[in-house]
């Protein structure tokens, strides 16, 4: 082989598969020949033959059964058949309990009109109608006969079914947001003896089924550049995937990072649950998060990033050192024994977007381009209704498994703790 300067050098070729696949690198035959010709030289001591990597032992799958001895799959199939009837009953019980517990739950949406018009429905009644529409998964016009049926059954306390414009006004009512937040918190209270661990993550929702963060094409003649998404930050239980708390933000503002909403979500969930573990991805890893969680008796289970916190001038706190020791202990197996459960929150987002739609059908009072810092009220209220609906479905499934029927008017009724929990407090 002739080089650029005219000199001649030896060119090595081989017919082995390694050289054919990676021709630019020396295979073991060429390396041995170059070593024999003393073109390369090995310095230092050889470590010998490497040991075979050890594999982590897989834990045996849990053998879960319902309270009456049925397999868990049979109980879940029975629960799916009961959901069309049981979810409205639970929602009616939830609204009745919220009328007593939540503040301003009976406040009307707007005062009477000048012409002597009637006052709008109470907040809990409007919330019932919106959650029922999300559960049905049909348009507002198709929902009118269903509303009429709910009124005849005595579940929806209205004299007549709300129209399409009325539902749009209710979705854009800011006074309805704290009521829906309270309903979401009440649907998680029967699970307070089950959950000791929580998972935190966020997911994006758009106004259309298919959208891009830079541009949204509504039709052939309407293209809006700079269209935005809404980000939903949720705290979910490890055992049952019950939604404990939720917060909402835009995607391009200064205070839209996931870690900004962690403390508010955990404080809200601690009012109901005795949390011992918090599972999050690397986006929630800051020097202050382990200290803040430790002050509340919660163990942070967050993976470490490469070359993170390597500055020797920084001080290691005790909770941060405990997280680092957990991450490196037993070849990372003790850490991943707990962190392996974190992908379950992606299953919740899949359930949410499959059952209740992965986009916001309400247009709201703002265009999507104006929602960079904070999303519009209609998107927030609609997503809260979807989360409440998912919690009610989980409640029906847990009722069929444990045999305990939930009545939100009885605040002390709750599901029993599992016999074989996924997490155990130290």
Q: Per residue in 283-296, pLDDT tens?
A: 898 888 999 999 99
Looking at the fold, whether 88 and 34 belong to one and the same domain comes out as no
Do residues 33 and 77 share a domain?
A: no
Q: Let me know if residue 334 belongs to a domain.
A: no
Q: Please enumerate in sequence order all residues whose Cβ is within 8 A of that of 31, keeping only pairs 6 or more positions apart, or say none.
A: 40
* pLDDT band of 100, cuts 50, 70, 90: confident
d(CA 128, CA 114): 28
Q: Is residue 51 part of a domain?
A: no
Q: Look at residue 200 and tell me if it is in a domain.
A: yes
| Residue 47 counted as domain residue | no
Verify that 91 and 30 share a domain, yes or no.
no
Q: What is the mean pLDDT of residues 85-104?
A: 87
41-87 pLDDT, tens digit each: 877 766 666 666 555 556 677 778 888 889 988 999 999 999 989 99
The yes-or-no verdict on residue 156 having pLDDT over 90 is: no
In a domain, 314, yes or no: no
DSSP state at residue 198: E
pLDDT band at 372 (very low <50, low <70, confident <90, very high): very low
The domain in which residue 381 lies consists of: 72-109+120-280+342-402
Residue 211's pLDDT band (boundaries 50, 70, 90)?
very low
Residues 36 and 77 in one domain: no
Side by side, the strands of the sheet bearing 197-205 are: 243-249, 230-237, 197-205, 277-279, 299-301
Tell me, what's the pLDDT at 310? Answer: 58
Q: Are residues 10 and 92 in the same domain?
A: no
Distance, CA of 240 to CA of 191 (rounded, Å)? 8
Count the domains in the chain: 2
Task: Identify whether residues 157 and 237 lie together within a single domain.
Answer: yes
Question: Does 227 map to a domain?
Answer: yes
In sequence order, what are the beta bridge partners of 71? 65
Over 50: is that where the pLDDT of 328 sits?
Answer: yes
**What is the H or E stretch that residue 159 is in?**
none
**pLDDT at position 116 over 50:** no
- Residue spans of beta strands (DSSP E) within 252-370: 277-279, 299-301
**What pairs with residue 279 in β-bridges?**
199, 301
Confidence of residue 407 (pLDDT cuts 50, 70, 90): very high
Identify the pLDDT of residue 67: 86
pLDDT classification of 118: cutoffs 50, 70, 90:
very low
| pTM summary value | 0.79
Beta carbons of 399 and 194 less than 8 angstroms apart: no
Give the residue, 138 or 261, on which the prediction is more confident: 261
Across 310-396, the runs of DSSP E, i.e. the strands, are: none
Statement to judge: residues 36 and 76 lie in one domain: no
Give domain status of residue 56, yes or no. Answer: no
**358: confidence class by pLDDT, cuts 50, 70, 90:** low
Residue 205 CA to its chain's centroid (Å):
12
Asked if 23 and 84 sit in the same domain, the reply is no
Strands (E), 214-341: 215-219, 222-225, 230-237, 243-249, 277-279, 299-301
What confidence score (pLDDT) does residue 276 get?
94
Query: Does the residue 374 lie in any domain?
Result: yes
Q: What is the mean pLDDT of residues 352-361?
A: 70
Q: What percent of the chain has pLDDT over 70?
A: 78
In this structure, the strands spanning 277-279 and 197-205 are parallel
Q: Quick one: 33 and 176 in the same domain? A: no
Q: Which two tokens stand for residue 108?
A: 């009307």
Residues 31 and 77 reside in one and the same domain: no
Could you tell me if 161 and 147 are in contact, meaning their C-beta atoms sit under 8 angstroms apart?
yes
Name residues whose C-beta falls within 8 Å of residue 388's C-beta, 6 or more positions apart in sequence.
Answer: 131, 180, 183, 184, 187
Write the pLDDT tens digit of every residue in 232-255: 899 999 999 999 999 998 777 677
* Candidate ranges 21-25, 61-65, 70-74, 212-216; pick with highest mean pLDDT: 70-74
């Amino acid at each position: 082989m002739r080089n650029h300067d005219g000199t001649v050098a030896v060119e090595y070729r081989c017919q082995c598969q390694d050289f054919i696949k990676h021709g630019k690198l020396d295979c073991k035959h060429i390396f041995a020949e170059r070593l024999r010709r003393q073109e390369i030289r090995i310095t230092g001591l050889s470590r010998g033959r490497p040991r075979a990597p050890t594999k982590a032992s897989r834990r045996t799958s849990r053998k879960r059964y319902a309270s009456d001895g049925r397999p868990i799959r049979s109980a879940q199939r029975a629960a799916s058949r009961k959901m069309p009837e049981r979810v409205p009953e639970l929602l009616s019980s939830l609204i009745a309990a919220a009328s007593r517990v939540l503040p301003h739950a009976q406040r009307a949406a707007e005062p009477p009109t000048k012409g002597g018009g009637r006052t709008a429905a109470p907040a809990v009644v409007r919330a019932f109608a919106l959650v029922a529409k999300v559960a049905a998964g049909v348009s507002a016009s198709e929902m009118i006969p269903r509303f009429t049926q709910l009124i005849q059954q005595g579940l929806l306390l209205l004299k007549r079914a709300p129209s399409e414009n009325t539902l749009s006004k209710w979705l854009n009512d800011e006074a309805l947001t704290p009521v829906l937040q309270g309903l979401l918190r009440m649907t998680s209270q029967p699970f307070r003896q089950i959950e000791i661990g929580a998972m935190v993550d966020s997911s994006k929702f758009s106004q259309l089924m298919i959208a891009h963060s830079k541009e949204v094409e509504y039709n052939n003649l309407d293209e809006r550049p700079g269209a935005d998404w809404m980000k939903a930050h949720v705290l979910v239980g490890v055992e049952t995937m019950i939604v404990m708390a939720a917060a909402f933000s835009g995607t391009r503002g200064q205070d839209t990072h996931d870690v900004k909403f962690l403390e508010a979500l955990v404080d809200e969930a601690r009012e109901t649950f005795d949390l011992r573990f918090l599972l999050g991805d690397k986006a929630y890893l800051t020097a202050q998060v382990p200290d803040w969680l430790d002050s509340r008796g919660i163990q942070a289970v967050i993976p470490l990033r490469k070359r993170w916190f390597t500055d020797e001038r920084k001080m290691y706190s005790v909770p941060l050192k405990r997280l680092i020791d957990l991450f490196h202990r037993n070849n990372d197996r003790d850490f991943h024994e707990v962190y392996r459960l974190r992908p379950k929150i992606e299953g919740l987002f899949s359930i949410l977007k499959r059952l209740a739609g992965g986009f916001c059908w309400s247009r709201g009072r703002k265009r999507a381009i104006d929602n960079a810092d904070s999303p519009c009220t209609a998107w927030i209220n609609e997503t809260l209704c979807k989360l409440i609906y998912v919690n009610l479905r989980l409640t029906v499934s847990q009722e069929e498994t444990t045999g305990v029927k939930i009545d939100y008017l009885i605040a002390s009724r709750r599901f029993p703790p599992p016999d074989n929990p996924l997490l155990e407090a130290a």
